[in-house]
Amino acid sequence: EDQVTQSPEALRLQEGESSSLNCSYTVSGLRGLFWYRQDPGKGPEFLFTLYSAGEEKEKERLKATLTKKESFLHITAPKPEDSATYLCAVQRETSGSRLTFGEGTQLTVNP
Amino acid sequence: NAGVTQTPKFQVLKTGQSMTLQCAQDMNHNSMYWYRQDPGMGLRLIYYSASEGTTDKGEVPNGYNVSRLNKREFSLRLESAAPSQTSVYFCASSALRTEIPYGYTFGSGTRLTVV
């Protein structure tokens, strides 16, 4: 059974204080690892897909990295508008297009 | 761009009542999904439809039924609502690409309370 564990559950940062969110996964045959952002009262919004260990992707202040056991979402010099819940999900090679999600990390960036 | 549209946005049901949650996408996606999101449990897959004409159970299908009406529409039905089905329901869609992972597009959710 695929498992995705995100840590920490919640993270409070001051504006400009860089940090990282962790996503540990157990899956037999990883096809892809996804990061989503979810704002309160809204559906998740796609950020990145990572396919193989060593891969990195960047978008504005966010950078996602992938190893064989975990992924990190690095947030550099965050701003209050980066406050959201960040979700990680994995797709197994044999599961078609289905994703298994972690519980998310709730990020709050204070001005 | 409308993307994925869910209706209604909010609903309160009494135990035992039935209702259908509607979902439509305008991106010509082949695959559609229904998830529920509960505090501390993340997003859990209820049912999905890999392509028009097919539906399959996900992780938590009990108490639900689905219909893939056409390529655009995928509905979720609660035949006899129970308090345990109080949740936020999300519909999502994706292109069918078997070799390359592809992100989902989610709707804005339906907040359902069963009393």
B42, B50, B107: residue with CB nearest A96: B50
**Could you tell me if B101 lies within 8 Å of chain A, comparing CB atoms?**
yes
Instruction: Taking residues B104-110, report their average pLDDT.
Output: 95
**Could you tell me if A59 lies within 8 Å of chain B, comparing CB atoms?**
no
- Interface with A, mutate which of B6, B7, B43, B55 (most A CBs under 10 A): B43
* Residue A84, Cβ density class (10 Å: 0-12 exposed, 13-18 middle, ≥19 buried): buried
Q: How far is residue A43's CA from residue A37's CA, in Å, rounded to a whole number?
A: 9
What percent helix, strand, coil does chain A show, rounded to 5? 5, 60, 40
Instruction: Taking residues B100-115, report their average pLDDT.
Output: 88
Tokens of B102: 């592809």
Least confident among B15-19, B50-54, B57-61: B50-54
Residues A33-90 have pLDDT tens digits of 999 999 999 999 999 999 999 999 999 999 999 999 999 999 999 999 999 999 999 9
pLDDT at B99: 47
Instruction: Taking residues B69-93, report their average pLDDT.
Output: 96
Q: How far is residue A76's CA from residue A48's CA, in Å, rounded to a whole number?
A: 16
For residue A94, what are the CA distances in angstroms to A29, A72, B63? Answer: 8, 24, 26
Evaluate whether B30 touches B95 at the Cβ level (below 8 Å): yes
Give the number of other CB atoms < 10 A from CB of residue A42. Answer: 14
